[in-house]
Amino acid sequence: MKRRLPLVLVGLLVAAASGDASELYRCEQPEGSLRFADSPHACRGAVPHALRGRIQQGETSSPPAAPAQGSSPVRDLAALLLGATEVGPGWEVVREVPGDPSRDPDLVDWGVSARLARHYTRQRAGTTEVCSIELWSFRTPGQAAAAEAGFSYPDWQIVREGEILLMARGLRRAQGVAPERGVSAACEGLAQRVRARVAAERS
């Protein structure tokens, strides 16, 4: 039996195919998290996503993950995600305030000790693209493995490095074409770089 989807992910997966042109929409949650959608009806207060500069929004450091016995601690989730100077031309970075897992009963039950997301966006040739990458740190590698096995979402790429779960999701919309959900080759490339950084940090 698959696990119930945590509240933090429910919003990310809700987006009906509607709207005009190549527009994507962003929903800003009261606790500081973001979600992107291809519909202006995905949430109350959805606004068109506009690229405004290399970095958008503020971000404070995520609390350190509690190390599992025999593993190296991951000191700072923010340091593992790619910054504005580390992504290729055309990409902009949308930062999030770190999530507080203690406020979500599902995340507490699963052993999540820290969570942080970053979004990479670009527009080219009439297409708007968002690549969202989340890092979830669990108290133990076993808890991370159980969560990895329990998640089954076709739009997401989910991989694990020890007690860290890396989750990537892509969303693209081109003018006159139905929205596409799923991890593009470019988004996968960003996710692989983050995974390599997580693996190096744990070694």
Q: How do residues 133-169 score in pLDDT, each as one tens digit?
A: 999 999 999 999 999 998 877 788 999 999 999 999 9
Q: Which two tokens stand for residue 183?
A: 């991890």
In the predicted model, is pLDDT for residue 65 greater than 50?
A: no
% of the chain exceeding 70 in pLDDT: 75
C-alpha R_g of the chain: 16
pTM of the model: 0.76
* The length of the chain, given as a count of residues: 203
Please give the residue that has the higher pLDDT: either 62 or 182. 182
User: Per DSSP, which regions of the chain are E strands?
Assistant: 25-28, 34-37, 47-48, 55-56, 92-95, 112-124, 127-138, 156-161, 164-174, 180-181
Give mean pLDDT, residues 29-38. 74
Give the whole-number percent of the chain exceeding pLDDT 90.
Answer: 34
Alpha carbon of 183 to those of 4, 103, 107, 158, 171: distances in Å? 22, 29, 24, 10, 7
